[in-house]
Amino acid sequence: MGTKPWGGRFDRETAPEVERFTASVSFDRRLFEHDIRGSVAHVRMLARCGIIPRADARRLRAGLERVRREIAAGRFRPGPEHEDIHMAVEARLREIVGPAADRLHAARSRNDQVALDLRLYVRGEIAAIRALIRRLQRRLLAAARRARGVVIPGFTHLQHGQPVLAAHHLLAYVEMLDRDADRFRGCGERADVLPLGAGALAGTSLPIDRAYVARLLGFRAVAPNSIDAVSDRDFVIEFLAAAALAGVHLSRMAEEIVLWASREFSLIRVDLSYCTGSSLMPQKANPDPAELVRGKCGRLCGALVAALTMMKGLPLAYNRDMQEDKEPLFDAADTLRACLSIMAGLWDHVAFRADRAAAALRGDGSQATDLAEHLVGRGVPFREAHRAVGRLVARAARAGKALEDLTLAELRAASPRFGPDALRLLDHGETVRRKRSRGGTSPAEVSRAVRSWSRRLGARDA
Helix (H) and strand (E) counts in the chain? 18, 6
Is beta strand 221-222 parallel, antiparallel or unpaired with respect to 268-270?
unpaired
Residue among 24, 26, 39, 278 flagged as catalytic: 278
Of residues 329-348, which lie at the interface with a copy of itself (CB under 8 A)? 338, 341-342, 345
Select from 31, 85, 100, 422 the one that contacts a copy of itself (CB under 8 A).
100
Per CB under 8 A, does 271 bind a copy of itself? yes
Report how far apart, in Å, the C-alpha atoms of 26 and of each of 80, 87, 159, 161, 251 are: 7, 13, 50, 52, 31
Which of the stretches 69-77, 110-118, 124-132, 135-143 binds a copy of itself when contact is defined by CB under 8 A? 110-118
Intra-chain end-to-end CA distance of the chain, in Å: 54
Which of the stretches 28-36, 203-211, 405-413, 415-423 binds a copy of itself when contact is defined by CB under 8 A? 203-211
Shortest CB 271 distance to a copy of itself, Å: 8
Per CB under 8 A, does 365 bind a copy of itself? yes
Which residues have CB under 8 Å from 10's CB, separation 6+?
A: 1, 2, 4
Per CB under 8 A, does 387 bind a copy of itself? yes
- Judged by CB, which is closer to a copy of itself: 71, or 403? 403
Of residues 234-253, which lie at the interface with a copy of itself (CB under 8 A)? 234, 237-238, 241, 244-245, 248, 251-252
Per CB under 8 A, does 133 bind a copy of itself? no
- Judged by CB, which is closer to a copy of itself: 70, or 384? 384
Whole-angstrom distance, CA of residue 260 vs CA of residue 143: 15
Residues 6-45 as x/- pattern, contact with a copy of itself by CB under 8 A: xxxxxxxxxx-xx--xx-----------------------
Whole-angstrom distance, CA of residue 447 vs CA of residue 440: 11
Which of the stretches 37-45, 125-133, 181-189, 416-424 binds a copy of itself when contact is defined by CB under 8 A? 181-189
Q: Based on the residue annotation, tell me whether 452 is a catalytic residue of this protein.
A: no
Residue among 157, 205, 279, 437 flagged as catalytic: 157
Q: What angle do CA 4, 108, 319 make, to 5 degrees?
A: 70
Q: Based on the residue annotation, tell me whether 82 is a catalytic residue of this protein.
A: no
- Judged by CB, which is closer to a copy of itself: 69, or 461? 461
Whole-angstrom distance, CA of residue 89 vs CA of residue 40: 12
- Judged by CB, which is closer to a copy of itself: 225, or 407? 225
Tell me which DSSP letter residue 76 carries: S
Report how far apart, in Å, the C-alpha atoms of 128 and of each of 115, 119, 132, 331, 453 are: 20, 14, 6, 15, 20
Residues 46-85 as x/- pattern, contact with a copy of itself by CB under 8 A: -----x-------------------------------x--
Report how far apart, in Å, the C-alpha atoms of 387 and of each of 17, 265, 366, 382 are: 74, 30, 15, 9
Whole-angstrom distance, CA of residue 298 vs CA of residue 348: 25
Which residues have CB under 8 Å from 358's CB, separation 6+?
A: 151, 428
Per CB under 8 A, does 441 bind a copy of itself? yes
Q: How many CB atoms lie within 10 A of CB 436?
A: 11
Residues 286-325 as x/- pattern, contact with a copy of itself by CB under 8 A: xxxx-xx-xxxxxx-xxxxxxxxxxxxxxxxxxxxxxxx-
Shortest CB 423 distance to a copy of itself, Å: 15
Catalytic residue numbers read 157, 278
